[in-house]
Structure 1
Protein backbone atom coordinates (compact mmCIF):
# COMPACT_ATOMS: atom_id res chain seq x y z
CA UNK A 1 0.00 0.00 0.00
CA UNK A 2 1.31 3.38 -0.92
CA UNK A 3 2.67 5.23 2.10
CA UNK A 4 1.22 8.71 2.29
CA UNK A 5 3.60 9.68 5.08
CA UNK A 6 6.15 10.42 2.37
CA UNK A 7 4.00 13.37 1.48
CA UNK A 8 4.64 14.94 4.90
CA UNK A 9 4.34 18.66 5.26
CA UNK A 10 6.99 20.57 3.34
CA UNK A 11 8.53 23.33 5.39
CA UNK A 12 6.99 26.72 4.72
CA UNK A 13 8.97 28.72 2.26
CA UNK A 14 10.15 32.12 3.27
CA UNK A 15 7.84 34.90 2.30
CA UNK A 16 9.17 38.26 1.16
CA UNK A 17 6.83 41.09 1.93
CA UNK A 18 6.85 43.60 -0.89
CA UNK A 19 6.26 47.02 0.58
CA UNK A 20 6.96 50.56 -0.47
CA UNK A 21 7.04 53.35 2.03
CA UNK A 22 3.93 55.46 2.18
CA UNK A 23 3.79 58.87 3.71
CA UNK A 24 2.17 62.18 3.29
CA UNK A 25 3.81 65.52 3.78
CA UNK A 26 2.29 68.89 4.30
CA UNK A 27 3.46 71.92 2.36
CA UNK A 28 5.93 73.82 4.46
CA UNK A 29 4.77 77.15 5.76
CA UNK A 30 1.09 76.29 5.31
CA UNK A 31 -1.24 75.86 8.26
CA UNK A 32 -3.30 72.69 7.71
CA UNK A 33 -6.77 71.61 8.69
CA UNK A 34 -6.23 68.22 10.41
CA UNK A 35 -9.63 66.74 9.58
CA UNK A 36 -9.71 67.64 5.88
CA UNK A 37 -6.14 66.56 5.29
CA UNK A 38 -6.75 63.28 7.10
CA UNK A 39 -9.78 62.55 4.92
CA UNK A 40 -7.82 63.42 1.79
CA UNK A 41 -4.93 61.17 2.79
CA UNK A 42 -7.29 58.27 3.43
CA UNK A 43 -9.02 58.72 0.10
CA UNK A 44 -5.70 58.79 -1.78
CA UNK A 45 -4.20 55.80 0.02
CA UNK A 46 -3.71 52.77 -2.21
CA UNK A 47 -2.92 49.81 -0.01
CA UNK A 48 -2.78 47.47 -2.99
CA UNK A 49 0.10 49.36 -4.56
CA UNK A 50 2.02 49.25 -1.27
CA UNK A 51 1.52 45.48 -1.06
CA UNK A 52 2.29 44.78 -4.68
CA UNK A 53 -1.36 43.75 -5.13
CA UNK A 54 -0.65 40.53 -3.25
CA UNK A 55 -2.74 38.53 -0.80
CA UNK A 56 -0.54 36.50 1.54
CA UNK A 57 -1.84 32.94 1.58
CA UNK A 58 -0.99 29.62 3.16
CA UNK A 59 -0.57 26.20 1.51
CA UNK A 60 -1.66 25.79 -2.10
CA UNK A 61 -4.80 23.67 -2.19
CA UNK A 62 -6.16 24.90 1.15
CA UNK A 63 -9.80 25.90 0.93
CA UNK A 64 -9.17 29.42 2.17
CA UNK A 65 -6.56 29.88 -0.57
CA UNK A 66 -8.94 28.56 -3.23
CA UNK A 67 -11.62 30.94 -1.95
CA UNK A 68 -9.15 33.83 -2.05
CA UNK A 69 -8.34 32.94 -5.66
CA UNK A 70 -12.08 32.88 -6.39
CA UNK A 71 -12.42 36.30 -4.75
CA UNK A 72 -9.78 37.70 -7.10
CA UNK A 73 -11.95 36.50 -9.98
CA UNK A 74 -15.30 37.58 -8.51
CA UNK A 75 -14.43 41.08 -7.29
CA UNK A 76 -13.71 43.51 -10.13
CA UNK A 77 -11.73 45.73 -7.78
CA UNK A 78 -9.26 42.86 -7.24
CA UNK A 79 -8.31 42.86 -10.91
CA UNK A 80 -4.55 42.39 -11.15
CA UNK A 81 -4.21 40.95 -7.62
CA UNK A 82 -2.52 37.61 -6.91
CA UNK A 83 -2.66 35.12 -4.03
CA UNK A 84 0.81 34.03 -2.94
CA UNK A 85 1.04 30.58 -1.34
CA UNK A 86 3.50 29.38 1.26
CA UNK A 87 2.60 27.94 4.67
CA UNK A 88 0.57 28.96 7.69
CA UNK A 89 3.81 29.67 9.55
CA UNK A 90 5.14 31.89 6.79
CA UNK A 91 1.83 33.73 6.62
CA UNK A 92 1.90 34.38 10.37
CA UNK A 93 5.50 35.57 10.17
CA UNK A 94 4.68 37.99 7.36
CA UNK A 95 1.67 39.27 9.30
CA UNK A 96 3.73 39.84 12.42
CA UNK A 97 6.45 41.67 10.47
CA UNK A 98 3.90 43.93 8.78
CA UNK A 99 2.22 44.77 12.08
CA UNK A 100 5.57 45.52 13.73
CA UNK A 101 6.30 48.01 10.96
CA UNK A 102 2.68 49.25 10.74
CA UNK A 103 2.54 48.27 7.08
CA UNK A 104 -0.54 47.12 5.17
CA UNK A 105 -1.08 43.42 4.57
CA UNK A 106 -3.97 41.18 3.55
CA UNK A 107 -3.76 37.52 4.61
CA UNK A 108 -5.92 34.45 4.25
CA UNK A 109 -7.24 33.98 7.76
CA UNK A 110 -9.35 31.63 9.80
CA UNK A 111 -10.86 31.39 13.24
CA UNK A 112 -9.93 29.90 15.66
CA UNK A 113 -6.33 31.13 15.40
CA UNK A 114 -3.93 32.56 17.96
CA UNK A 115 -3.26 35.63 15.81
CA UNK A 116 -6.63 37.08 16.83
CA UNK A 117 -5.60 36.86 20.48
CA UNK A 118 -2.18 38.37 19.81
CA UNK A 119 -2.99 41.10 17.27
CA UNK A 120 -5.79 43.59 16.67
CA UNK A 121 -7.26 42.17 13.45
CA UNK A 122 -10.49 42.21 11.48
CA UNK A 123 -12.11 40.22 8.70
CA UNK A 124 -12.91 42.15 5.55
CA UNK A 125 -16.61 42.04 4.73
CA UNK A 126 -17.40 39.68 1.86
CA UNK A 127 -20.56 41.01 0.14
CA UNK A 128 -20.40 38.35 -2.58
CA UNK A 129 -20.07 35.59 0.07
CA UNK A 130 -17.17 33.98 -1.75
CA UNK A 131 -15.79 32.63 1.53
CA UNK A 132 -19.13 31.16 2.60
CA UNK A 133 -20.59 31.17 6.07
CA UNK A 134 -19.80 29.47 9.33
CA UNK A 135 -17.66 26.33 9.21
CA UNK A 136 -17.30 23.28 11.42
CA UNK A 137 -14.16 21.35 12.24
CA UNK A 138 -15.02 17.65 12.06
CA UNK A 139 -13.49 14.36 13.11
CA UNK A 140 -12.96 11.70 10.44
CA UNK A 141 -11.80 8.13 11.04
CA UNK A 142 -11.03 5.14 8.87
CA UNK A 143 -13.65 2.54 8.26
CA UNK A 144 -13.39 -0.35 10.71
CA UNK A 145 -11.81 1.65 13.53
CA UNK A 146 -14.79 1.08 15.84
CA UNK A 147 -14.33 -2.70 15.55
CA UNK A 148 -10.52 -2.69 15.70
CA UNK A 149 -9.95 -0.08 18.41
CA UNK A 150 -13.28 0.69 20.10
CA UNK A 151 -11.78 2.79 22.91
CA UNK A 152 -9.85 5.00 20.50
CA UNK A 153 -12.97 5.33 18.37
CA UNK A 154 -15.05 6.41 21.37
CA UNK A 155 -12.56 9.08 22.48
CA UNK A 156 -12.42 10.53 18.97
CA UNK A 157 -16.20 10.38 18.70
CA UNK A 158 -16.67 12.23 22.02
CA UNK A 159 -13.96 14.86 21.46
CA UNK A 160 -15.60 18.29 21.39
CA UNK A 161 -14.47 21.73 22.52
CA UNK A 162 -14.84 25.46 21.83
CA UNK A 163 -12.85 28.07 19.93
CA UNK A 164 -11.59 29.64 23.16
CA UNK A 165 -10.13 26.28 24.21
CA UNK A 166 -8.27 25.86 20.95
CA UNK A 167 -6.99 29.44 20.94
CA UNK A 168 -5.65 29.03 24.47
CA UNK A 169 -3.51 26.09 23.37
CA UNK A 170 -2.45 27.81 20.13
CA UNK A 171 -1.37 30.99 21.89
CA UNK A 172 0.76 29.07 24.40
CA UNK A 173 2.49 27.26 21.53
CA UNK A 174 3.08 30.54 19.67
CA UNK A 175 4.64 31.94 22.85
CA UNK A 176 7.23 29.15 22.87
CA UNK A 177 5.73 26.09 24.54
CA UNK A 178 6.00 22.77 22.76
CA UNK A 179 2.69 21.41 21.42
CA UNK A 180 2.89 18.53 23.92
CA UNK A 181 3.49 20.88 26.85
CA UNK A 182 0.69 23.25 25.85
CA UNK A 183 -1.68 20.30 25.43
CA UNK A 184 -0.78 18.86 28.83
CA UNK A 185 -1.30 22.25 30.50
CA UNK A 186 -4.74 22.61 28.93
CA UNK A 187 -5.70 19.09 29.97
CA UNK A 188 -4.65 19.76 33.56
CA UNK A 189 -6.85 22.85 33.67
CA UNK A 190 -9.86 21.26 31.94
CA UNK A 191 -10.16 17.80 33.40
CA UNK A 192 -13.96 17.97 33.37
CA UNK A 193 -14.01 18.24 29.58
CA UNK A 194 -11.41 15.51 29.23
CA UNK A 195 -13.46 13.21 31.46
CA UNK A 196 -16.40 13.65 29.10
CA UNK A 197 -14.24 12.59 26.15
CA UNK A 198 -13.04 9.42 27.89
CA UNK A 199 -16.36 8.52 29.52
CA UNK A 200 -17.30 4.91 28.86
CA UNK A 201 -13.82 3.93 27.68
CA UNK A 202 -11.31 1.52 29.17
CA UNK A 203 -7.57 2.00 29.52
CA UNK A 204 -5.44 0.02 27.07
CA UNK A 205 -1.88 -1.24 27.09
CA UNK A 206 0.09 0.26 24.26
CA UNK A 207 -2.49 0.06 21.46
CA UNK A 208 -1.08 2.01 18.53
CA UNK A 209 -3.03 4.88 17.01
CA UNK A 210 -1.96 7.18 14.18
CA UNK A 211 -3.51 10.63 13.83
CA UNK A 212 -2.87 12.82 10.80
CA UNK A 213 -3.21 16.57 10.42
CA UNK A 214 -2.47 19.45 8.13
CA UNK A 215 0.23 21.54 9.78
CA UNK A 216 -1.95 24.52 10.68
CA UNK A 217 -1.65 26.07 14.13
CA UNK A 218 -5.27 25.20 14.91
CA UNK A 219 -4.83 21.54 14.00
CA UNK A 220 -1.49 21.22 15.76
CA UNK A 221 -3.30 22.33 18.91
CA UNK A 222 -6.33 20.03 18.61
CA UNK A 223 -4.40 16.95 17.46
CA UNK A 224 -1.86 17.22 20.26
CA UNK A 225 -4.57 17.65 22.89
CA UNK A 226 -6.38 14.53 21.65
CA UNK A 227 -3.09 12.64 21.44
CA UNK A 228 -2.14 13.49 25.03
CA UNK A 229 -5.57 12.42 26.28
CA UNK A 230 -5.22 9.11 24.44
CA UNK A 231 -1.72 8.61 25.84
CA UNK A 232 -3.12 8.99 29.35
CA UNK A 233 -5.50 6.14 28.47
CA UNK A 234 -2.58 3.90 27.52
CA UNK A 235 -2.45 4.42 23.75
CA UNK A 236 0.78 4.79 21.83
CA UNK A 237 -0.01 7.72 19.56
CA UNK A 238 1.83 8.80 16.42
CA UNK A 239 1.09 12.22 14.91
CA UNK A 240 1.85 12.60 11.20
CA UNK A 241 1.67 16.00 9.44
CA UNK A 242 0.57 15.84 5.80
CA UNK A 243 -0.61 18.13 3.04
CA UNK A 244 -4.37 18.54 2.65
CA UNK A 245 -4.96 15.88 0.00
CA UNK A 246 -2.75 13.16 1.49
CA UNK A 247 -4.25 13.79 4.95
CA UNK A 248 -7.70 12.86 3.67
CA UNK A 249 -6.46 10.05 1.45
CA UNK A 250 -4.46 8.38 4.23
CA UNK A 251 -7.58 8.06 6.41
CA UNK A 252 -9.71 6.95 3.46
CA UNK A 253 -7.11 4.31 2.53
CA UNK A 254 -6.95 3.04 6.11
CA UNK A 255 -3.28 3.94 6.52
CA UNK A 256 -4.06 6.35 9.35
CA UNK A 257 -6.67 5.88 12.05
CA UNK A 258 -8.20 9.33 12.01
CA UNK A 259 -7.99 13.12 12.10
CA UNK A 260 -9.69 15.94 13.99
CA UNK A 261 -8.76 18.48 11.31
CA UNK A 262 -11.56 18.43 8.71
CA UNK A 263 -12.81 21.97 7.97
CA UNK A 264 -16.23 21.81 6.30
CA UNK A 265 -18.17 22.61 4.24
CA UNK A 266 -15.81 25.04 2.52
CA UNK A 267 -12.15 24.61 3.35
CA UNK A 268 -11.88 20.86 2.77
CA UNK A 269 -15.04 20.49 0.71
CA UNK A 270 -13.29 19.09 -2.37
CA UNK A 271 -11.31 16.53 -0.35
CA UNK A 272 -14.45 15.46 1.49
CA UNK A 273 -16.38 14.85 -1.73
CA UNK A 274 -13.53 12.76 -3.12
CA UNK A 275 -13.16 10.57 -0.02
CA UNK A 276 -16.46 10.61 1.90
CA UNK A 277 -17.48 7.09 0.84
CA UNK A 278 -14.25 5.58 2.15
CA UNK A 279 -14.14 7.03 5.67
CA UNK A 280 -16.46 7.64 8.63
CA UNK A 281 -17.64 11.12 9.61
CA UNK A 282 -17.93 11.44 13.41
CA UNK A 283 -19.36 14.94 13.27
CA UNK A 284 -18.20 18.34 14.50
CA UNK A 285 -15.61 18.69 17.24
CA UNK A 286 -15.77 22.51 17.03
CA UNK A 287 -18.54 24.84 15.84
CA UNK A 288 -18.32 28.43 14.62
CA UNK A 289 -15.12 28.34 12.61
CA UNK A 290 -14.65 30.97 9.90
CA UNK A 291 -12.41 31.78 6.95
CA UNK A 292 -11.84 35.00 5.02
CA UNK A 293 -9.45 37.82 4.22
CA UNK A 294 -7.94 39.42 7.31
CA UNK A 295 -6.18 42.76 7.80
CA UNK A 296 -4.75 44.68 10.77
CA UNK A 297 -7.29 46.95 12.44
CA UNK A 298 -5.21 50.04 11.62
CA UNK A 299 -5.91 49.63 7.91
CA UNK A 300 -8.70 51.95 6.76
CA UNK A 301 -10.67 49.29 4.89
CA UNK A 302 -13.68 47.31 6.06
CA UNK A 303 -14.71 45.34 2.96
CA UNK A 304 -13.02 43.44 0.15
CA UNK A 305 -14.67 46.02 -2.12
CA UNK A 306 -12.61 48.80 -0.44
CA UNK A 307 -9.40 47.47 -2.00
CA UNK A 308 -8.30 49.00 -5.28
CA UNK A 309 -7.54 47.27 -8.57
CA UNK A 310 -4.01 47.11 -9.88
CA UNK A 311 -3.17 50.01 -12.17
Structure 2
Protein backbone atom coordinates (compact mmCIF):
# COMPACT_ATOMS: atom_id res chain seq x y z
CA UNK A 1 0.00 0.00 0.00
CA UNK A 2 2.78 2.36 1.00
CA UNK A 3 4.61 1.41 -2.15
CA UNK A 4 1.59 2.40 -4.27
CA UNK A 5 1.43 5.83 -2.60
CA UNK A 6 5.11 6.41 -3.32
CA UNK A 7 4.61 5.51 -6.99
CA UNK A 8 1.63 7.88 -7.27
CA UNK A 9 3.57 10.71 -5.63
CA UNK A 10 6.49 10.17 -8.02
CA UNK A 11 4.09 10.11 -11.01
CA UNK A 12 2.28 13.29 -9.91
CA UNK A 13 5.58 15.08 -9.29
CA UNK A 14 6.81 14.10 -12.73
CA UNK A 15 3.65 15.35 -14.44
CA UNK A 16 3.84 18.67 -12.60
CA UNK A 17 7.45 19.06 -13.73
CA UNK A 18 6.48 18.35 -17.35
CA UNK A 19 3.63 20.86 -17.21
CA UNK A 20 5.90 23.47 -15.64
CA UNK A 21 8.55 23.06 -18.33
CA UNK A 22 5.94 23.16 -21.07
CA UNK A 23 4.50 26.36 -19.63
CA UNK A 24 7.96 27.92 -19.50
CA UNK A 25 8.62 26.95 -23.09
CA UNK A 26 5.27 28.30 -24.22
CA UNK A 27 5.90 31.59 -22.47
CA UNK A 28 9.30 31.86 -24.09
CA UNK A 29 7.81 31.20 -27.52
CA UNK A 30 5.10 33.80 -26.90
CA UNK A 31 7.67 36.35 -25.88
CA UNK A 32 9.76 35.58 -28.96
CA UNK A 33 6.70 35.83 -31.21
CA UNK A 34 5.68 39.12 -29.61
CA UNK A 35 9.22 40.42 -30.01
CA UNK A 36 9.29 39.34 -33.65
CA UNK A 37 5.91 40.98 -34.23
CA UNK A 38 7.14 44.15 -32.56
CA UNK A 39 10.30 44.13 -34.64
CA UNK A 40 8.34 43.71 -37.87
CA UNK A 41 6.30 46.82 -37.12
CA UNK A 42 9.16 48.88 -35.72
CA UNK A 43 11.79 48.27 -38.38
CA UNK A 44 9.95 49.44 -41.49
CA UNK A 45 12.47 52.24 -41.92
CA UNK A 46 15.34 49.80 -41.79
CA UNK A 47 13.59 47.42 -44.20
CA UNK A 48 13.16 50.16 -46.81
CA UNK A 49 16.60 51.60 -46.05
CA UNK A 50 14.97 54.80 -44.76
CA UNK A 51 14.13 55.65 -48.36
CA UNK A 52 10.98 57.08 -49.91
CA UNK A 53 10.77 55.95 -53.51
CA UNK A 54 10.01 59.07 -55.51
CA UNK A 55 9.95 60.55 -58.99
CA UNK A 56 11.76 63.26 -60.93
CA UNK A 57 13.72 66.07 -59.24
CA UNK A 58 11.78 69.34 -59.33
CA UNK A 59 8.36 67.68 -59.41
CA UNK A 60 5.89 69.29 -57.03
CA UNK A 61 5.51 66.16 -54.93
CA UNK A 62 9.29 65.72 -54.78
CA UNK A 63 9.72 69.24 -53.43
CA UNK A 64 6.88 68.72 -50.93
CA UNK A 65 8.32 65.39 -49.76
CA UNK A 66 11.67 67.06 -49.11
CA UNK A 67 9.75 69.57 -46.95
CA UNK A 68 8.02 66.69 -45.13
CA UNK A 69 11.40 65.17 -44.24
CA UNK A 70 12.37 68.51 -42.71
CA UNK A 71 9.06 68.99 -40.88
CA UNK A 72 8.61 65.52 -39.38
CA UNK A 73 11.19 64.75 -36.67
CA UNK A 74 10.57 61.03 -37.10
CA UNK A 75 11.77 61.28 -40.72
CA UNK A 76 15.21 62.34 -39.55
CA UNK A 77 17.72 60.38 -41.63
CA UNK A 78 15.24 59.54 -44.41
CA UNK A 79 15.78 60.55 -48.03
CA UNK A 80 13.81 60.70 -51.27
CA UNK A 81 15.11 58.47 -54.04
CA UNK A 82 14.62 60.62 -57.14
CA UNK A 83 14.33 58.83 -60.45
CA UNK A 84 11.38 58.70 -62.85
CA UNK A 85 7.68 58.00 -62.50
CA UNK A 86 8.11 54.78 -64.48
CA UNK A 87 10.96 53.61 -62.24
CA UNK A 88 8.94 54.39 -59.11
CA UNK A 89 5.95 52.41 -60.36
CA UNK A 90 8.23 49.50 -61.30
CA UNK A 91 9.66 49.38 -57.78
CA UNK A 92 6.15 49.64 -56.32
CA UNK A 93 4.86 46.76 -58.44
CA UNK A 94 7.83 44.57 -57.57
CA UNK A 95 7.39 45.21 -53.85
CA UNK A 96 3.64 44.59 -53.93
CA UNK A 97 4.02 41.36 -55.89
CA UNK A 98 6.27 40.09 -53.09
CA UNK A 99 4.32 41.80 -50.28
CA UNK A 100 7.43 43.70 -49.25
CA UNK A 101 7.35 47.08 -47.49
CA UNK A 102 7.75 50.22 -49.58
CA UNK A 103 6.96 53.92 -49.16
CA UNK A 104 6.28 55.90 -52.34
CA UNK A 105 5.27 59.38 -53.37
CA UNK A 106 1.65 59.10 -54.48
CA UNK A 107 -0.80 61.36 -56.23
CA UNK A 108 -4.23 61.33 -57.81
CA UNK A 109 -5.01 61.38 -60.62
CA UNK A 110 -2.66 58.52 -61.46
CA UNK A 111 -3.36 55.11 -62.91
CA UNK A 112 -1.38 53.34 -60.18
CA UNK A 113 -4.36 53.83 -57.85
CA UNK A 114 -6.51 52.11 -60.46
CA UNK A 115 -4.09 49.25 -60.97
CA UNK A 116 -3.17 48.83 -57.30
CA UNK A 117 -6.46 49.09 -55.44
CA UNK A 118 -4.78 48.13 -52.15
CA UNK A 119 -2.62 51.25 -52.02
CA UNK A 120 -3.33 53.72 -49.21
CA UNK A 121 -2.25 57.25 -48.36
CA UNK A 122 -0.56 57.84 -45.01
CA UNK A 123 -2.19 60.35 -42.70
CA UNK A 124 -0.40 63.69 -42.67
CA UNK A 125 -0.99 65.19 -39.18
CA UNK A 126 1.16 68.23 -39.89
CA UNK A 127 -0.61 68.98 -43.17
CA UNK A 128 2.58 69.23 -45.22
CA UNK A 129 0.85 67.73 -48.27
CA UNK A 130 -2.31 69.78 -47.83
CA UNK A 131 -5.85 68.63 -48.38
CA UNK A 132 -7.67 68.01 -51.66
CA UNK A 133 -5.99 69.78 -54.56
CA UNK A 134 -7.26 71.44 -57.71
CA UNK A 135 -5.55 71.49 -61.07
CA UNK A 136 -5.85 74.97 -62.60
CA UNK A 137 -5.58 76.42 -66.09
CA UNK A 138 -3.37 79.48 -66.51
CA UNK A 139 -3.12 81.74 -69.56
CA UNK A 140 -0.56 84.30 -70.57
CA UNK A 141 -1.51 87.94 -70.34
CA UNK A 142 -3.04 89.08 -73.64
CA UNK A 143 -4.23 85.67 -74.84
CA UNK A 144 -7.91 86.59 -74.47
CA UNK A 145 -7.50 89.63 -76.72
CA UNK A 146 -5.22 88.00 -79.30
CA UNK A 147 -6.77 84.52 -79.53
CA UNK A 148 -10.24 84.81 -77.96
CA UNK A 149 -11.55 81.46 -79.20
CA UNK A 150 -8.56 79.53 -77.88
CA UNK A 151 -8.88 81.40 -74.58
CA UNK A 152 -12.59 80.57 -74.37
CA UNK A 153 -12.10 76.83 -74.96
CA UNK A 154 -9.25 76.58 -72.45
CA UNK A 155 -11.29 78.57 -69.94
CA UNK A 156 -14.26 76.18 -70.35
CA UNK A 157 -12.18 72.99 -70.14
CA UNK A 158 -13.20 70.91 -67.12
CA UNK A 159 -13.18 67.19 -66.40
CA UNK A 160 -12.93 64.64 -63.57
CA UNK A 161 -10.26 62.59 -61.82
CA UNK A 162 -11.87 59.48 -63.30
CA UNK A 163 -11.61 60.92 -66.83
CA UNK A 164 -7.91 61.63 -66.47
CA UNK A 165 -7.08 58.35 -64.73
CA UNK A 166 -9.01 56.40 -67.37
CA UNK A 167 -6.77 57.76 -70.12
CA UNK A 168 -3.62 57.18 -68.09
CA UNK A 169 -4.56 53.62 -67.17
CA UNK A 170 -5.53 52.64 -70.71
CA UNK A 171 -2.24 53.99 -72.03
CA UNK A 172 -0.31 52.06 -69.40
CA UNK A 173 -2.34 48.87 -69.85
CA UNK A 174 -2.24 48.77 -73.65
CA UNK A 175 1.10 50.46 -74.27
CA UNK A 176 -0.59 52.95 -76.59
CA UNK A 177 0.70 56.50 -76.49
CA UNK A 178 -1.33 58.91 -74.35
CA UNK A 179 -1.83 61.23 -77.34
CA UNK A 180 -3.63 58.48 -79.26
CA UNK A 181 -5.71 57.46 -76.23
CA UNK A 182 -6.64 61.10 -75.60
CA UNK A 183 -7.72 61.55 -79.20
CA UNK A 184 -10.00 58.53 -78.93
CA UNK A 185 -11.35 59.81 -75.59
CA UNK A 186 -12.38 63.08 -77.28
CA UNK A 187 -14.21 61.11 -79.98
CA UNK A 188 -15.93 58.95 -77.35
CA UNK A 189 -17.05 61.88 -75.16
CA UNK A 190 -18.73 64.39 -77.51
CA UNK A 191 -21.07 65.75 -74.83
CA UNK A 192 -18.21 66.79 -72.55
CA UNK A 193 -16.21 68.24 -75.41
CA UNK A 194 -19.29 70.18 -76.56
CA UNK A 195 -19.29 71.97 -73.20
CA UNK A 196 -15.69 73.05 -73.74
CA UNK A 197 -16.34 74.27 -77.27
CA UNK A 198 -19.64 75.99 -76.58
CA UNK A 199 -19.50 79.41 -78.25
CA UNK A 200 -16.02 78.77 -79.69
CA UNK A 201 -15.81 79.76 -83.34
CA UNK A 202 -13.86 77.81 -85.95
CA UNK A 203 -10.52 79.29 -86.99
CA UNK A 204 -8.05 78.61 -89.78
CA UNK A 205 -4.68 77.41 -88.49
CA UNK A 206 -4.25 79.81 -85.56
CA UNK A 207 -1.18 78.65 -83.61
CA UNK A 208 -1.56 77.78 -79.92
CA UNK A 209 1.23 76.55 -77.64
CA UNK A 210 0.29 74.61 -74.52
CA UNK A 211 3.09 74.37 -71.97
CA UNK A 212 2.92 71.38 -69.65
CA UNK A 213 4.93 69.02 -67.47
CA UNK A 214 5.99 65.64 -68.88
CA UNK A 215 4.00 63.46 -66.48
CA UNK A 216 1.15 61.27 -67.67
CA UNK A 217 -1.54 63.22 -65.82
CA UNK A 218 -0.60 66.46 -67.53
CA UNK A 219 0.01 64.76 -70.87
CA UNK A 220 -3.56 63.48 -70.68
CA UNK A 221 -5.11 66.93 -70.13
CA UNK A 222 -2.85 68.67 -72.65
CA UNK A 223 -3.65 66.16 -75.37
CA UNK A 224 -7.42 66.16 -74.93
CA UNK A 225 -7.50 69.95 -75.06
CA UNK A 226 -5.13 69.96 -78.03
CA UNK A 227 -7.44 67.58 -79.87
CA UNK A 228 -10.49 69.72 -79.05
CA UNK A 229 -8.67 72.85 -80.24
CA UNK A 230 -7.55 71.17 -83.45
CA UNK A 231 -11.13 70.15 -84.19
CA UNK A 232 -11.91 73.89 -84.18
CA UNK A 233 -9.11 74.61 -86.63
CA UNK A 234 -6.23 75.52 -84.32
CA UNK A 235 -2.65 74.38 -84.91
CA UNK A 236 -1.54 73.17 -81.46
CA UNK A 237 1.93 72.54 -80.07
CA UNK A 238 2.46 70.88 -76.68
CA UNK A 239 5.78 71.75 -75.02
CA UNK A 240 6.78 69.57 -72.03
CA UNK A 241 9.05 71.26 -69.47
CA UNK A 242 9.69 71.04 -65.74
CA UNK A 243 7.39 72.87 -63.34
CA UNK A 244 9.52 75.99 -62.79
CA UNK A 245 9.96 76.53 -66.54
CA UNK A 246 6.24 75.97 -67.12
CA UNK A 247 5.24 78.83 -64.83
CA UNK A 248 8.00 81.06 -66.15
CA UNK A 249 6.98 80.40 -69.77
CA UNK A 250 3.37 81.45 -69.17
CA UNK A 251 4.43 84.48 -67.13
CA UNK A 252 6.85 85.60 -69.84
CA UNK A 253 4.43 84.94 -72.68
CA UNK A 254 6.64 82.24 -74.21
CA UNK A 255 3.66 79.87 -74.12
CA UNK A 256 -0.06 80.54 -74.44
CA UNK A 257 -1.48 78.47 -71.60
CA UNK A 258 -1.00 75.56 -69.25
CA UNK A 259 -3.52 73.13 -67.78
CA UNK A 260 -1.15 71.77 -65.14
CA UNK A 261 -1.00 74.08 -62.10
CA UNK A 262 -1.62 72.02 -58.95
CA UNK A 263 -2.97 74.24 -56.17
CA UNK A 264 -3.15 75.30 -53.43
CA UNK A 265 -0.22 73.25 -52.11
CA UNK A 266 1.85 71.39 -54.69
CA UNK A 267 2.86 74.30 -56.95
CA UNK A 268 2.26 77.09 -54.44
CA UNK A 269 5.85 78.39 -54.49
CA UNK A 270 5.94 78.63 -58.28
CA UNK A 271 2.44 80.13 -58.43
CA UNK A 272 3.25 82.87 -55.93
CA UNK A 273 6.48 83.74 -57.75
CA UNK A 274 4.59 84.64 -60.95
CA UNK A 275 1.04 85.34 -59.76
CA UNK A 276 1.01 88.89 -61.13
CA UNK A 277 2.14 87.83 -64.60
CA UNK A 278 -0.53 85.38 -65.77
CA UNK A 279 -4.30 84.97 -65.83
CA UNK A 280 -5.75 82.31 -63.52
CA UNK A 281 -8.69 80.67 -65.33
CA UNK A 282 -9.67 78.56 -62.33
CA UNK A 283 -9.82 74.83 -61.82
CA UNK A 284 -10.12 72.33 -64.64
CA UNK A 285 -10.13 69.35 -62.25
CA UNK A 286 -11.11 69.04 -58.59
CA UNK A 287 -10.22 66.18 -56.25
CA UNK A 288 -6.51 65.83 -56.89
CA UNK A 289 -4.36 64.67 -53.99
CA UNK A 290 -0.71 64.10 -53.12
CA UNK A 291 1.03 62.37 -50.22
CA UNK A 292 3.04 59.36 -49.14
CA UNK A 293 1.49 55.99 -49.91
CA UNK A 294 2.09 52.39 -48.81
CA UNK A 295 0.43 49.04 -49.56
CA UNK A 296 -2.48 48.13 -47.29
CA UNK A 297 -0.68 44.99 -46.09
CA UNK A 298 1.58 47.35 -44.10
CA UNK A 299 -1.18 47.35 -41.49
CA UNK A 300 0.81 49.04 -38.70
CA UNK A 301 1.79 51.98 -40.88
CA UNK A 302 -1.14 54.38 -41.25
CA UNK A 303 0.47 57.77 -40.62
CA UNK A 304 3.69 59.50 -41.59
CA UNK A 305 4.39 59.57 -37.86
CA UNK A 306 4.48 55.73 -37.86
CA UNK A 307 7.73 55.87 -39.85
CA UNK A 308 10.56 55.84 -37.34
CA UNK A 309 13.72 57.93 -37.45
CA UNK A 310 17.01 56.42 -38.52
Please indicate the TM-score interval, normalised by the length of the shorter structure.
Answer: 0.7 to 0.9
Shift in alpha-carbon separation, 1:236–1:82, aligned structure 2, 3 A: same
Provide the C-alpha distance between the structure 2 equivalents of 1:36 and 1:161, rounded to a whole number of angstroms.
Answer: 55
1:201 aligns with 2:196: no
Corresponding residue SS for 2:176: coil
Partner SS state of residue 173, structure 1? helix
Change (3 A) 1:185 1:34: farther
**Inter-CA distance 35–290: structure 2 relative to 1 (3 Å threshold):** farther
Using the TM superposition, give the Cα deviation of residue 39 of structure 1 relative to its aligned residue in structure 2, in angstroms: 6.0
More helix by share: 2
How far off is 1:124 after superposition?
A: 0.4
3-state DSSP of counterpart to 2:214: coil
Deviation at 1:263, TM superposition (A): 0.2
Query: Are 1:244 and 2:243 counterparts?
Result: yes
Q: Report what 1:162 is aligned to.
A: 160
Deviation at 1:229, TM superposition (A): 1.0
Q: Tell me the secondary structure at the aligned position of residue 256 of structure 1.
A: coil
Query: Deviation per CA, 1:154-200, whole angstroms, max 9, x where unpaired?
Result: 11000001111111111011111211221122212211110000000
Q: Which runs of 5+ in 1 are unaligned?
A: 1-29
8 Å Cα contact 2:212/2:258 also seen in 1: yes
Deviation per residue, 1:90-133 (Å, 9 max, x gap): 22222222223322111111111110000120000111111111
Partners of 2:34 and 2:187 lie apart in 1 by 52
CA, structure 1 residues 200+305, in 2 after alignment: closer, same or farther (shift >3 Å)? same
Residue of structure 2 in register with 1:302 after alignment: 302
Distance (whole Å) between structure 1 residues aligned to residue 119 and residue 61 of structure 2: 17
What is aligned with 1:233? 232
| TM-score under structure 1 length normalisation | 0.85
Displacement of 1:33 in angstroms is 12
What secondary structure sits across from 1:103 in the alignment? coil
Structure 1, residues 28-52: CA drift from partner, whole Å, max 9, x if none?
xx99999998765442111211211
Larger Rg: 2
Give the distance between the partners of 2:169 and 2:60, measured in 1 at CA: 23
Whether contact under 8 Å (2:178, 2:216) holds in the other structure is: no
- SS for the counterpart of 1:141 is strand
> Partner residue of 2:17?
none
1:131-280 → structure 2 map (5 Å cutoff): 131-175=129-173, 176-280=175-279
C-alpha change, 1:140 and 1:87, in structure 2 (3 Å) is same
The runs of 5 or more residues in structure 2 that have no matched partner are 1-24
Q: Secondary structure at the match of 1:294?
A: strand
TM-score by length of 2: 0.85
